[in-house]
Chain A
Amino acid sequence: MSEASAAGRKGLSPEEIVQRFRADVAKVRAEIGKMIVGQEEIVLGTLTCILANGNVLLEGVPGLGKTMLVRTISQVMDLDFSRIQFTPDLQPSDIVGTRVAVEDEAGRLRFDFNKGPVFANILLADEINRATPKTQSALLEAMAEKSVTVGDKTYKLDEPFFVMATQNPLEQEGTYPLPEAQLDRFLYKLIVPFPTLDELEVIMNRTTRGFKADVQKVIARDRLLEMRDEVLNVEIAAPVQRYALKILRATHPDMEEATPAVKRFVRNGGSPRGAQTILLTAKVMAMMDGRHHVAPEDIATTAVPSLRHRMILNFEGEAEGVKADDLLAEIVKKTPKG
């Protein structure tokens, strides 16, 4: 849906669109905040990805409220939610569904497609790296094409479709690291931090005293789809866009924009999909900030979560314990604006 059609249909000016968008996001955040303590960055990042029509990969130890977050978002936005606990023996059919023989009223057998948990608006793929690559790749089509093919039939997934995968950074034994192609399907990779002391106190008080949060639906599913369309209308000036592209190029060790650290520790930089992610999420950020255009500050903010899982470190980088976040922070700092 274009900006002309969206604004024209409702007769809203860009300023009104932005203000409405901003207000809705604020309402969603406030409602989520009733259930989720702290984790502002994670909530914001997850919402950004949902509004940018993308998926998010969360990395954090268990018990930090990832499932709670997804469930809360689904409640707030009136979305279907399903959760899959990935295990090594999980089969693709366990995700996408399978065809089963069903006897009809006439007593004849026919195959019916029994939909898997992927048929939801929000899919929580818990500990996605514990499944085999075959099973992991079963999600690829769903994440990229928003559809599932079983046998000779392709099933379109309901809109909006959003995958939120988690992985535990500690228990790496017996896991299957996500392939680069699948990592590239995630807009953001968010690192879930451990709560602060104050946040922990609030969490303990709520969970050990029979606290029940009354989370209400704030926006409808259609409004979410409308907001995703509105985001696309945000303008970006050429120098700002060039700034984002320079950042992307700087993640490649063989590019002239690359910093010395990138040249030393990085094997592969971000793909063009990384730049798309930056620009899309930056537009969301601009709308959230009440602007009609993207600012370099939006680019700088979204660059790190957009590219951290797209930069592949080389052996020396892994051995030295280099963090992609540090490299990206340096890139953002050193890349000239404009």
Chain B
Amino acid sequence: MSSDGTLTGGTLAELSARIRRREVSATEVVQAFIERTDELEPALGAYITRMSGEALAGARAADAEIAAGKYRGPLHGVPVAVKDIYWTEGVRTTSGSVIDADFVPERDATAVRRLREAGAVVIGKTSTVEFAFDPTGRNAHYGMPKNPWGPDRMPGGSSSGSAVAVASGMVPLALGTDTGGSIRIPAALCGITGIKPTFGLVSRSGITPLAYSLDTAGPMARTAEDAAIALSVLAGHDPSDPASAMTSAVDYTRGLDGGVRGVRIGVLSEYVWELMDPQVEAAFRKAMSVFEDLGASVEEVSVPEVEWTAVVSAAITTAEAAAVHGDRVLAEGERFDPAVRRRIESGFFVSAAAYVRAQRARVLLTRRMSEALERVDLIAMPTVPMPAPLREAESTVIGGVETPVREALLRITRIFNVTRMPAVSLPCGFSDDGLPVAFQIGGRAFDDAAVLRAAHAYQGATDWHTRRLPGA
């Protein structure tokens, strides 16, 4: 049982342990989350498609297997929500678009298949920005989910529904995707934990692409431990994803309790701080002092090339989005969200020379960040420079500077997309008006275990990740 006495208030790890010990059945767990979703979903709008019937059938099957001694592991019988750009066999996958409103895939995305093989029970398809091409969470077709911490605030995106579902206790684990921050931004604005794994670690096969040289897939949960449990199942080579790395299975929960004593944490001395809400910076600095108390050292590192992040990301993302979605936007443009349509169409005008130059700059920036990560073990920074903006805001004031909301949301997260390094976002406080504030810990490529270990150490010493809305 969770600290608040409910099944839905617990972490994935807590639920999993109770299912394994047969203190509670998977059916009871799934039923509890369905009932909570029945209660909250009308107000929050986290889902595009719910799968309650299939989920209960899956839970009963899990119970039968567990009773027969065929326990599959820590995801067995645990409900999971899936962003609606992951293909699901026999269940429509809209990608947040009306164009795909009736698209029913014949197979699961590799990530979904791996979750199912581990015994997880898919409970629904969560809301996403159309084709995952916006960081606010807006969707002109299916609506923008409500941020549980402030219904007048945006949830962040593009994995908006997954963040809202986890934050409100409608599910303990959800999948998101992250091309410019789409896992970490909504995780930050909704007060949960989300990891963008190293590019190539988790297969994107069967996930509707946005920008194929930056797209990543990963878990969103309440804690780093829960994210580690999920990543252990999700990670691994998949020949059906051309960018999939030749990695072998890793148990990211092993060594999770190793702590941060002796770990060197770098804090960028430039770029990040040029546009930063003082409340967010104060919470971040306190988080760094927690790490120092835990035995880590915190020092400034300089990587001036991070200034290129927005330029590089914009050129690559728009050009690749036009390559992926261009034919459909030309043929059926009026069926797109007008803003998403313009973003995709704009990509037609990025020249081949500019695209290649952006990729060269991306590689150069990656090398500079890798050199910095020879001097330190991790690099930490706030996830987004401000708490959740108002839902309809096009601009916001940060430190007295009026800034376009989209650019502000993407400003920092994109560093780890462009460099393809792992980064986990986790809560580190609240603003004066009660909105979550978060920071992210990035690390060396394929050292996802190190960023999760540091996040777990922080969550062992603080309780920001345990803060719940009433009944959540």
Asked if chains A and B come from one complex, the reply is: no
- The interface of chain A, by Cβ under 8 A from chain B, is none
- The interface of chain B, by Cβ under 8 A from chain A, is none
